[in-house]
Structure 1
Amino acid sequence: MKPQAILHLDLDTFFVSVERLLDNRLQQKPILVGGLGDRGVVAACSYETRSYGIHSGMSMQVARKLCPQAIVIKGNASTYTQYSHLVTEIIRAEVPAFEKASVDEFYVDLTGMDRFFGTQQFAFDLRKKIIAESGLPISVGLSQNKVVSKIATGEAKPNNERYIPQGTEKHFLAPLSTRKIPMVGQKTYTKLVQMGIQRIQTLQEMPLAVIEQVLGKNGKTIWLRAQGIDNSPIIPYHERKSISMERTFNRDTIDVVRLKNSLQAMAESLAYQLRNAQKLTSIVTVKIRYSDYQTQSKQTRIAYTSADHLLVPQALALFDQLYQRRVLIRLIGLKFSGLVGGHHQIDLFDDSQKLIDLYQSIDKIKNRFGERSILKASTLDSKSIGGMGNPFNGEPPMVLAHRKQ
């Protein structure tokens, strides 16, 4: 069986790179992208700031103290989404199938292409094409599986390329920190360090049974990845990938308040599902079906997000544009599409750590007690929403009342 050839592409410091593309004066300068307030969060930081201990997700106030000379820029999610789409289209035009792992990260299966082009040459030519047509720096890694290619990309950064020939995976990984293995977060890394396992080579030499005993169910996967073994498939990316909900009313209605409350409940439920799956959406579609069975829909492209406070207004605005006939409605629906992997972080250029914590707290409650365990007062009577019918252990739901701005 012919070995695979998997290419990983990662746009370097994506948000920072876009800002530099738009303003050349920012080149070589320490840059922080994120919320401007003292309670804001660093969404991205340039390489020049990292020697100061700054990283994404850090409090902006702390980052400013660590690097007072840094230029702080409020992020623009819409702009970053446009550039993400641009790079996506360049890749789509060159390869038959690819996986869009996040707004700035891609996997491509090049297996068999060496018969026609030379896999390594094709991969590096694709990188050059992206740089030339988008103006953005991008690093790539090429090996026989996704994990090794992703690690190779990290070692190639910034703005470079790395090829790991078949059979050299263990040798390539051996001197690297175990923190470089996907799935090894800070807690797992701390456990490994406490065992004296700081380098991947040490992990490679450890018995699998010992690692499983210490790390539990993830131990085998981490140990195999340390050996350079990974069988995870490429998941082809399609813009149509979506999640949706609909409500058919028992009686056709013209009650706009009720319709909007139902739509809001659907938006909140779908947004919660996005966050649970670590996904972001870039297309919102609202559908209504009238009592005469005529169906209309309207959609809009937005910056990638999974946040209620951004998705709910978009859905309600589409409804206002769509509902012009003032005829009885029998069904209303909402769809989020254009999904990619990613975290809520991209939404939070104008948010505070307090808001991030609020979302995390709400989602923890929903994960534990059911999706309907916490909801806004206005959506309390919306009973038809997919996951919102889940049991919540007999406990009454917590209610978030609206607060006028």
Structure 2
Amino acid sequence: MDRAIAHLDLDTFFVSCERLQDSSLNGLPIIIGGGDRGVVASCSYEARYFGVRSAMPIRMAMKLCPQAKIIKGDMQLYSNMSHLITDIICEQAPVVEKASIDEFYLDLTGMDRFFGTYKWTSELIEKIKKESGLPLSYALSINKTVSKIGTGQAKPMGALSIPSLQVRPFLNPLSIRKIPMLGEVTYTTLSRIGIRNIKTLSEMPIQVLQQMLGKNGVDIWKKANGIDLTPVEPYRERKSISTEHTFDQDTIDIVLIKSILLGMVEKLAFQLRTEQWLTSVITVKIRYANFDTETKQKRVTYTCADHTLSQLVYELFDRLYLRRMRLRLIGIQFSGLVRGTYQIDLFEDTQELMALYQAMDKMKKRYGIDAVTRCAAANLKHREKQIKQIIDK
């Protein structure tokens, strides 16, 4: 029995949410982003017509489309709308995977025994549109790869059903750029040897692609042939991430404590970006030598940037640590999480800062989480060793 996997994608989600709040924005070229040195978080189809794209510098976008209206963006609004749609889908569908803030996979395998799967999906889409007021596109096929490509072809506000016998005829004429997770470097490599459409790629010997691209070559060959056994992972919303540090010796050394806090923030922020989360609630915990435990919490604008989070953590610690007693434990928790597809907060951060974080994260993924760190955190282990030597004497 063929699988039945639906892919749902909200059309220009951030822009659609803003238009839901202000109908005068309908039909206008809209850019969601912040500041002259910021980048485009999202844009309307009217703006895309002029060449504007996500992650493009705002200045470049305004040169391409000077008549566009720039809106800073409201992550709280987008998060609330995403939760509303998630609730609607989870009430109806048997297995749901939330791939991002505006993208979902549904495993509907076996449901056609009771009623047409495509008809059921169409009715769900109408329910979402009616209750949320937001436009979306979807495709139904035999796996996640084909249904995602199908949704891209159906946009905007379209629908496609691609049964197993139609998978190859559907994929063959498309550009290899349509294959999910096929990046610019791989596209350039394949283009140089004349592979530009999916049909040509699917007919290449798999051994040749493996020699050229390694394991990635095997993966994209399978996708080009409509093969994808990846399961739909049931949706479970993560509530928080946290970490704690217990001192070997109770301490009152503020410099040491703040160095440790910085290192903890860096690791948690890297985890946020790697798993594509943004946090809106920061909590700092301290435990005194007599085991008294206190916490302080602050709600903030959604972010996952080290420099922002570290300043907030320092601020909370300074407000929390009022008794001049030794500490035995410190902890940090990031909660109020929302899914995002961006590595940093595109509404506030500049293009240069975005590039810096991307470079740092790339090095951490390749060489380990401690490969790149700030000086204060880098000197931490040496300082702890010095203190231990003094105490031992």
TM bin, normalised by shorter chain, reads 0.7 to 0.9
- Describe the superposition over 1:229-276 as per-residue Cα deviations: whole angstroms up to 9, x where unpaired: 101122222223654321012233466665444333211111123334
Q: State the partner residue of 2:374.
A: 376
What secondary structure sits across from 2:245 in the alignment? strand
Q: Does 1:118 align with 2:108?
A: no
1:252 aligned onto 2:289: no
Tell me what 2:192 maps to. 194
The question of 1:14 aligning with 2:13 is answered yes
Number of the residue aligned with 1:106: 104
Cα gap change, 1:327 to 1:210, in 2 (>3 Å): same
Equivalence for 2:133:
135
> 2:272 — aligned with what?
274
Distance 1:116 1:292 in 2: 64
Q: Distance in 2 between matches of 1:376 and 1:271?
A: 13
The aligned length equals 381
Flag structure 2 segments of 5+ consecutive residues without an equivalent: 383-393
Residue 77 of structure 1: CA displacement? 2.6
Which digits, 9 at most, give the CA deviation of each residue in 1:154-194, with x for residues without a partner?
11111222211233211211121111001222222222222
TM-superposed CA distance for 1:328, in Å, is 5.1
How far did residue 215 of structure 1 move?
Answer: 2.7
Residues 2-401 of structure 1 aligned to structure 2 (within 5 Å): 2-37=1-36, 39-240=37-238, 242-253=240-251, 258-281=256-279, 284-293=282-291, 304-316=302-314, 319=317, 329-336=327-334, 338=337, 340=339, 342-345=341-344, 347-367=345-365, 370-380=368-378, 382-383=380-381
RMSD, matched Cα: 2.9
Question: For the Cα contact (< 8 Å) 1:242–1:339, is it kept in 2?
Answer: no
* Stretch deviating more after TM superposition (256-265 or 203-212): 256-265
Between the aligned partners of 1:115 and 1:195, the Cα distance in structure 2 is 46
Call closer, same or farther: CA 1:92–1:310 in 2, change over 3 Å. farther
Question: 1:122 Cα shift?
Answer: 2.3
Question: How many Å separate the matches in 2 of 1:343 and 1:196?
Answer: 32
Question: Deviation at 1:50?
Answer: 1.8
Instruction: Find the aligned partners of 1:129 and 1:209 in 2 and give their Cα distance.
Output: 47
| SS of structure 2 residue aligned to 1:351 | coil
Per the alignment, do residues 156 and 197 of structure 1 end up closer, same or farther by CA in structure 2, a change over 3 Å counting? same
Structure 1 CA distance for aligned equivalents of residues 49 and 252 of structure 2: 60
Deviates more, 1:63-72 or 1:329-338: 329-338
Partner residue of 1:395?
A: none
The 3 A distance-change label for structure 1 pair 149 and 258 is same
Q: Deviations over 1:32-51 (max 9, x none)?
A: 111231x2211111111222
SS in 2 for 1:350: coil
- Give the % identical residues: 54
Change (3 A) 1:357 1:167: same
| Superposed CA offset, 1:313-361 (max 9, x none) | 444455567667776542222234546462225x122221111122233
The offset of 1:63, in angstroms, is: 1.4
When residues 67 and 258 of structure 1 are mapped into structure 2, their CA distance, relative to the original with a 3 A threshold, is: same
Range with bigger deviation, 133-142 or 336-345:
336-345
CA contact (8 A) 2:343 2:358 kept: no
Letter in 2 for 1:135: G
